[in-house]
Every structure is written in structure tokens, then in C-alpha cells.
Amino acid sequence: MSRAQRVVIASAMAVALMIAGCAKAPRLDPAPGEQLADRVVVVKSAHTLTLYARGQILKTYKVALGRGPAGPKDHQGDHKTPEGDYILDQKNAKSRFHLALHVSYPNAADRQRAQREGRDPGGAIMVHGVAWGFGWLSSLQRAIDWTDGCIAVSNPEIEEIWRLVPVGTSIEIKP
């Protein structure tokens, strides 16, 4: 590569970094009076995540799921997304997937089933964005199921979900 080509590439990278640095930080706290979700429903067969408030739909998102075969999560490493009733019990702003909301999997039934089968039920199931550095894939990431059992949305969508879904909100994951 010539010196002139290196200068052009370095200049382009500098401009890109300046533009990225000027990007407005996402608003992660609800606006005054903004309607918050009190229930989240994921329908795996439709690849959707829907936020509800008092029985009314607030917003629906298309999602990518676990890359494992159909059916509920059985054990650690099966790459399946769980099915059942859970709680979004914590938020992780330092996730390697932009932002993440932890799903309370495994529940008591999941643990009992895994114990009967002599397996580890697994854990660390999240609703999350795209991995840091891959935000440019945000809208494309739904084209295939790619997670290890999590529920993935674009980075702008996880910022909105983060803002609208308080810790303690129920999440139902349906087949």
C-alpha cells in the first residue's frame, strides 16, 4: 500500500471516529409521563417481542433467537431460547451486547426438569442488542437466529426497551 493510500485511509478513519464521537448519547431513562411496560411477551414462532402496558400493546419488535432447534431450552449449551414465565430481573449496561436485560431463567420447573435429566439447565439468558463493534449489523441481525438462547434486537431497539421496561417486569416466552 502506498503512502498516499495510507493517508487517505487514516483520514477516513479519523473522520469516522469524529462523527462517532459526536453522536448523541442514547436516552436510557424514561421521559416524564412516558408509558412503561408492565409485561413483555415473546412469541418464538413469530420472532416477535411485544411490550404491554395495562393490557395494551406499546410496541412490537422483530427478534433473533437461539440458534438451537425448536422447543424449549433443555440444558446448558443447547442454544435454545427458553419457554415459560420469567422476570426481567436485572439490567446490565456493561454487557458485551450493547445493553442487556437478564431473564430469570431457569425457573423452578426448568431446574426440576434438568435435575431429572441429570443436566445443567444453563442460564445467562438475556434480551440484548448487538455485540459492541457490530452495531452496523443492527437491522440485519434478525435475518437468522444466532444467539446462544437469548433474544436479540437492534441496538436502537434495546435502548428503547431498556428505557420502557423496569426491572421486575414479567416476560412470557411462548413457542
Grouping H, G, I as helix, E, B as strand and the rest as coil, residue 39 is strand
Please give the pLDDT value at position 173: 98
- The residue that leads in pLDDT, 139 or 165, is 165
Please give the pLDDT value at position 111: 94
Q: What percent of the chain has pLDDT over 90?
A: 65
Please give the pLDDT value at position 10: 43
Domain 35-174: give its CATH architecture. Answer: Beta Barrel (2.40)
CA-to-CA distance for 150 and 103, rounded, in angstroms?
A: 9
Residue 54 DSSP one-character state = T
Please give the pLDDT value at position 154: 93
Grouping H, G, I as helix, E, B as strand and the rest as coil, residue 74 is coil
- β-pairing, 84-92 vs 100-103, is antiparallel
pTM of this structure: 0.81
pLDDT of 27 higher than 60: yes
**Cα angle, residue 71 at apex, residues 70 and 75 outer, rounded to 5°:** 110
Q: What are the extents of the domains in the chain?
A: 35-174
For residue 21, the one-letter residue type is G
- What's the mean per-residue pLDDT of the chain? 85
Average pLDDT over residues 1-21: 46
pLDDT of 61 higher than 60: yes
CA-to-CA distance for 171 and 107, rounded, in angstroms?
A: 12
Please give the pLDDT value at position 11: 46
pLDDT of 6 higher than 70: no
CA-to-CA distance for 175 and 157, rounded, in angstroms?
A: 22
Cβ neighbours of residue 11 under 8 Å, at least 6 residues apart? none
Residues listed for the chain: 175
Please give the pLDDT value at position 15: 41
Please give the pLDDT value at position 143: 82
